[in-house]
Amino acid sequence: MDYDFGGKVALITGAGSGIGRATALAFGKSGASVIVSDVNEQGGDETVDLIKQTGGQAIFIRCDVADASAVDEMVEQALKEYGHLDYGHNNAGIANVQADEWDEDVWARSLSINLTGVMHCMRAEVKAMRERGGGAIVNTSSINGLTGNASQPAYVSTKHGVIGLTRHGALKWAKDNIRVNCVCPGVIETAMTEAVASNPQYRAAMENMTPLGRMGRPEEIAGAVLWLCSDQASFVTGHPLVIDGGATVA
């Protein structure tokens, strides 16, 4: 579906690659001015260049979402650049696939980025959106936020938390005309899954997790994010939208 986001401003965290980059590109192609945010400056700059190559408008702002003051500064800089904020896709996250997540340092880092980072972004975005008279926020959770995973306690816990935080925000800010939803991707071909998916045996296992028999594409998640931000979803809030090729119903 083609959207017209002309005159709108969208902020995407974790936009240096994967789902965040795909969402930033989709917003740019749809006419929105895009704030590309990531801790990876090279990836963020590449995303901005890709948006501009398609005729879109974008800037890069480096931000570690675990740092509340850095998030506030990011939103302030976005407002200075574009004057307002309409949409936020809080996508930055880490998986720690190879780490011992029972290690307290790993647990704390996962929590600070995957959950507390989303809270920091929501709080700053809502302040800007109130001045605009409304807006839409989409957080990135996971199917692991709905089910479970025996090997990733920190990741699973934080992604469950994102859904809870989304539902809280939907109720709290409905009166401000701000809708808050989240997407729950299944196995998607991103840099986060590349290390595992490069092994043919592991890739086959991930593909077999879904009735559709393949991994998802970042663009498929981006399409859902844009729909949730669009007027077509104007009566949708507090919803965890599952995009997993049927994995959670198999």
Which amino acids are annotated catalytic? 155
What is the C-alpha to C-alpha distance for residues 37 and 222, in angstroms, rounded to an integer?
A: 16
Q: Which of 188, 150, 245 is nearest to 14 (CA)?
A: 188
Q: Output the DSSP codes for 103-114.
A: SHHHHHHHHHHH
What is the C-alpha to C-alpha distance for residues 78 and 135, in angstroms, rounded to an integer?
A: 15
79-105 CB burial, b ≥16 within 10 A, e <16? beebebbbbbbbbbbbbbeebebeeee
Tell me which residue has tokens 């926020």: 137
